Amino acid sequence: MCQRDDMSVSAVADHYVETARHGHSVLGRVARHGVVWFAKWLDESHRDLAESRLRLRKEYQILMRLNHPGVVRASGLEEHPETGLALMMELAEGEMLGDFLSHATRAERSAAAVRLLEAAAYIHSKGVCHLDLKPENVMVSAKGGDVSVKIIDFGMSDCAGEAMFKSVGGNRRYGSPEQFASGYRCDPRADVWSLGMLVGQMRPGLTLRLVARKALVADPGRRPADAGVMLGMLRRMKRKMGMATGAVALSLFVALLMFSPRHRHGEITEMASTVVTLPAVTSLSSPDPVAETRDVPGLGVSFRPEAAPIGYSGLEAEHDAIVKGLLAELKLAADSMAILAADESLPRNIRSRGIGVCVEGMNSRISSAFDSLRARCPDDYLSRQKPGWATVFDPALSAHQKRVEGILRDFSNRADSI
């Protein structure tokens, strides 16, 4: 690649080809020694204005601070008889973000969003704010499943070490609300807002969409401090989602075991080995840790054996202990079901079937937990309890029931993006 010269006089043989104009800037290409470079120079009305030349020099000086695969690389600043002062940069391959999104798959969109955050995090780590992040300034290339992103056009960028031209503009659609207020000084949180807008528009996976929502907070003080913080949030969410995905698989698997006791032990073991591999977990058991339990062969689920009748006060205490244990178990299952319902990367019919199996499994778990208790309760004691006592409609489980109803209602009303 060409050597980075601060100032050089080009040979007159070099020919600059104009490709577009943006404000008072002219964009084009120039071929030199068999390499095509991207060039930016000033139009005829601003070519000799000191302020415009200083702005172009500031952009070059900021770019010289940066060296990252996701950031366009500057090669030099030169005077040319045809263009005047011209900023030379590498030619970014690919297409603009908006064009890329028109045909990209969800996996490609998600990969591009992560690459964008990584590039912006590097820029912020060098004390630079781009301040004009928009689809036209993000180039994306997808080759053989490998997605790369390159941020271009640092004409509005700023940093603490530059004293010139602190007035800030940008794109009204993607710029942060505070960015256009008088007296504003550059802050990475303005880029964070723009990144939230871009990532949301890219329609990536669930964790990226959640991070984007946190970036779109009107109060800058409540946003992530910079793109590096957004990346950290993304990694933590992915770890939690990974754990939750395991919980979803566990819930569905346990629900299947509860709901389909006809499976022989060998069939269940074979199915588990081919469907999902989970870390070791404690098997579901009776909520009373003192009572003796026994394992049901083939299910890996512990149940309380039959016991002699106990006093009414003991029955109530046992009911409360069962409810306490059930609420803890059902919270995990409901969390898993909510994540499954919101995961737009899965087809809606698959999620619907999974949710149905999960609900059946939870109801079966509740019934089995109360079976032994109800079998030992005298009829006169049961008749004095509230309707639904010690069943799936137990009033003590009303919070769980309302949450499940809310998840089902939200899933029915959700208009999933394609």
CATH number at residue 204: 1.10.510.10
Two tokens, residue 275: 């469907």
Q: Is residue 202 part of a domain?
A: yes
Q: What is the mean pLDDT of residues 306-330?
A: 78
What is the band of 266 on the pLDDT scale with cuts at 50, 70, 90?
very low
278/170 same-domain check: no
Residues 6 or more apart whose CB falls under 8 angstroms from that of 237 comprise 207, 210, 211
Q: Is residue 27 part of a domain?
A: yes
Q: What is the pLDDT of residues 287-304, one digit of tens each?
A: 343 334 444 444 344 444
In this prediction, residue 105 carries a pLDDT of 93
3-state secondary structure of 327: helix
Q: What is the mean pLDDT of residues 42-60?
A: 90
78/115 same-domain check: no
Q: What is the pLDDT of residues 363-408, one digit of tens each?
A: 888 989 988 888 888 888 888 888 889 888 899 999 998 998 888 8
Q: What is the pLDDT of residues 176-202, one digit of tens each?
A: 988 888 777 888 999 999 999 999 999
Two tokens, residue 300: 């890996």
Of 178, 194, 225, the one marking the end of a domain is 225
What is the band of 254 on the pLDDT scale with cuts at 50, 70, 90?
low
Q: Is the distance from CB of 30 to CB of 37 less than 8 angstroms?
A: yes
Percent of the chain at pLDDT above 90?
38
59/122 same-domain check: no
In this prediction, residue 190 carries a pLDDT of 93
Q: Is residue 148 part of a domain?
A: yes
279/358 same-domain check: yes
84/183 same-domain check: no
Q: Is the overall model pTM greater than 0.75, yes or no? A: no
CATH code assigned at 16 = 3.30.200.20
Of 90, 118, 138, the one marking the end of a domain is 90
Q: Is residue 238 part of a domain?
A: no
Q: What is the mean pLDDT of residues 142-152?
A: 91
The letter for the amino acid at 240 is K
The per-residue pLDDT of the chain, averaged, comes to: 79
pLDDT at residue 174 is higher than 70: yes
Q: Is residue 273 part of a domain?
A: yes
Q: Is residue 235 part of a domain?
A: no
DSSP class per residue in 136-163: GGEEEEEETTEEEEEE---TT-EETT--
Residues 6 or more apart whose CB falls under 8 angstroms from that of 317 comprise none
Backbone angles phi, psi at 354, to 5 degrees: -65, -40
22/38 same-domain check: yes
Q: Who wins on pLDDT, 223 or 34?
A: 223
Residues 6 or more apart whose CB falls under 8 angstroms from that of 264 comprise 298
276/352 same-domain check: yes
3-state secondary structure of 387: coil
Q: Is residue 259 part of a domain?
A: yes
**Residues 113, 115, 117: CA angle, nearest 5 degrees:** 70
How many domains is the chain built from? 3
Q: Is residue 397 part of a domain?
A: yes
291/353 same-domain check: yes
80/135 same-domain check: no
In this prediction, residue 167 carries a pLDDT of 58
128/29 same-domain check: no
123/71 same-domain check: no
Of 43, 72, 90, the one marking the end of a domain is 90
Q: Look up tokens 């004009």; give the residue.
A: 132
For residue 410, count other CB atoms closer than 10 A to its CB: 12
Q: What is the mean pLDDT of residues 249-274?
A: 48
In this prediction, residue 279 carries a pLDDT of 37
Domain around 314? 247-413
Q: Who wins on pLDDT, 384 or 128?
A: 128
SS3 per-residue string spanning the chain? CCCCEEEEECCCCCCEEEEEEECCEEEEEEEECCEEEEEEEECCCCCCCHHHHHHHHHHHHHHCCCCCCCECCEEEEEEECCCEEEEEEECCCCEEHHHHHCCCCHHHHHHHHHHHHHHHHHHHHCCEECCCCCHHHEEEEEECCEEEEEECCCCCCEECCCCCCCCCCCCCCCCCHHHHCCCCCCCHHHHHHHHHHHHHHHCCCHHHHHHHHHHCCCCHHHCCCCHHHHHHHHHHHHHHHHHHHHHHHHHHHHHHHHHCCCCCHHHHHHHHHHHCCCCCCCCCCCCCCCCCCEEECCCCEEECCCCCCCCHHHHHHHHHHHHHHHHHHHHHHHHHHHHHHHCCCCCHHHHHHHHHHHHHHHHHHHHHHHHHHHHCCCHHHHHCCCCCCCCCCCHHHHHHHHHHHHHHHHHHHCCCCC
pLDDT at residue 77 is higher than 70: yes
189/57 same-domain check: no
pLDDT at residue 340 is higher than 90: no
